[in-house]
């Protein structure tokens, strides 16, 4: 054979051998990403091109867990995964994403991936100016609401992944979307019990955009700010007592003693009057029992949707019995709203617990942060 023809043939054979697929299994997990506070997910790197995310708590008391494989798009055709081991296999970096909770949006924004969001349910509740601008320009499509997500519209958008939010595994819209070969990945940030645990879910979003280092740096800054504020609060000489919540149909709902909200009050060096309860959710109490324990509370925070003293008094005259009401020491997040009326607290607070803590320190111990401008909690009108 002519040597000039033989060389290209040999090179072609070698090239074919080099495209042999690499087999990767979950047993090869070797490089776990450091997760310090979050309890609901883990991230592991099985190879330079494959990242495994396991969500163990997609909702409170879940018996289900979900495992997702994220594979570098450039290597997707050369890597073989056992599909039975994963609930979804997704090529990354993702270019088109649908998310379903306002708490997901700040993570996309701080990672610099706002433009990857193409659809969202209940867009009117989005407060972020950056994402609102994209909604107004028609770049983020309205998809109904999360409880009855418009699956036909989602399928028409053809996102590479839908980040789902659910209270259980019974979501027919998600099932329909998955049957159309669009992966649905559950996010359980809302089920975390600690403030920093919720914020650490930025490390869940980062691998979808191959931005793990950026997420580590962002979370470290939030963690340091939070812990520095917590240390500052300990310098206060007085530890005030705190009431929370309000009545809804004759039942007073307020945070349990092991809840996210209770932890904020503790870290702000104040005494939450129900910190001795074991619930990590909400408590349902009678008005009489709340008055008995919190009649003389120094502060009252988060009085439901009420934004003024007149609204409170009109809703129930018994509210005026509390010292915090009479002394004008009631603070709410209901007066911090976005352009379309969405509450900024519900969108940003889980991602920025450091700002929530500083708000509360400013309220309970104003001498420690005298010039601080609150982000969420403000006095009732």
Provide the 8-state DSSP code for 111.
T
Instruction: Specify the pLDDT at position 228.
Output: 98
CA atoms within 13 A on the CB side of 140: 25
Q: What is the mean pLDDT of the chain?
A: 91
User: What is the average per-residue pLDDT within 310-322?
Assistant: 95
CA distance linking residue 318 with residue 22, whole number of Å:
69
Q: Please, what are the domains in the chain?
A: 20-212 (3.40.50.1980), 234-379 (3.40.50.1980)
Instruction: Specify the pLDDT at position 20.
Output: 47
Of all residues in the chain, the percent with pLDDT exceeding 90 is: 83
User: Tokens at residue 111, please?
Assistant: 């990672």
Instruction: Specify the pLDDT at position 9.
Output: 38
CA distance linking residue 173 with residue 340, whole number of Å:
26
CA distance linking residue 198 with residue 57, whole number of Å:
12
CA distance linking residue 64 with residue 56, whole number of Å:
7
Instruction: Specify the pLDDT at position 147.
Output: 73
For 188-241, what is each residue's pLDDT tens digit?
A: 999 998 999 999 999 999 999 999 999 999 999 999 999 999 999 999 999 999
Which residues, 6+ apart, have CB-to-CB distance to 270 below 8 Å?
Answer: 239, 240, 241, 242, 299, 360, 364
CA distance linking residue 216 with residue 203, whole number of Å:
7
- Whether 5 shows a pLDDT value over 80: the answer reads no
CA distance linking residue 241 with residue 245, whole number of Å:
14
Residue 28's pLDDT band, with cuts at 50, 70 and 90, is very low
């Amino acid at each position: 054979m002519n040597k000039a023809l033989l060389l290209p043939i040999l090179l072609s054979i070698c090239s074919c051998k080099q495209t042999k697929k690499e087999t990767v299994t979950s047993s090869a997990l070797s490089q776990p990403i450091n997760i310090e506070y979050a309890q609901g997910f883990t991230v592991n790197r099985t190879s330079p091109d494959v990242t495994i995310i396991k969500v163990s708590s997609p909702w409170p008391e879940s018996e289900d867990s979900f495992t997702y494989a994220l594979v570098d798009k450039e290597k997707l055709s050369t890597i073989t995964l056992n599909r039975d081991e994963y609930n979804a296999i997704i090529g990354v970096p993702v270019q088109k994403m649908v998310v379903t909770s306002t708490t997901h949006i700040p993570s996309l924004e701080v990672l610099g991936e706002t433009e990857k969001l193409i659809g969202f349910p209940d867009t009117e509740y989005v407060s972020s100016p950056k994402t609102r601008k994209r909604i107004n320009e028609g770049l983020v499509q309205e998809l109904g609401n999360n409880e009855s997500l418009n699956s036909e519209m989602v399928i028409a958008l053809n996102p590479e992944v839908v980040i789902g939010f659910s209270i259980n595994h019974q979501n027919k819209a998600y099932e329909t979307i998955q049957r159309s070969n669009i992966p649905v990945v559950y996010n359980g940030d809302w089920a975390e019990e600690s403030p920093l645990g919720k914020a650490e879910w930025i490390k869940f979003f980062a691998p979808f955009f191959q931005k793990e280092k950026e997420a580590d740096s962002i979370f470290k800054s939030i963690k340091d700010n939070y812990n520095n504020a917590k240390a500052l609060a300990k310098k206060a000489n007085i530890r005030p007592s705190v009431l929370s919540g309000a009545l809804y149909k004759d039942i007073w709902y307020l945070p349990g003693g092991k809840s996210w909200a209770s932890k904020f009050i503790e870290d702000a060096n104040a005494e939450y009057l129900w910190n001795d309860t074991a619930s990590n959710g909400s408590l349902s109490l009678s008005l009489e029992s709340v008055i008995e324990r919190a009649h003389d509370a120094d502060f009252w925070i988060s009085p439901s949707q009420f934004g003024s003293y007149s609204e409170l008094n009109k809703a129930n005259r018994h509210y005026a019995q509390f010292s915090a009401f009479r002394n004008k020491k009631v603070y709410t997040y209901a007066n911090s709203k976005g352009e379309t009326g969405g509450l900024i607290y519900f969108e940003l607070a889980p991602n920025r617990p450091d700002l929530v803590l500083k708000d509360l320190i400013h309220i309970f111990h104003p001498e420690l942060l005298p010039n601080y401008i609150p982000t969420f909690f403000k006095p009732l009108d």
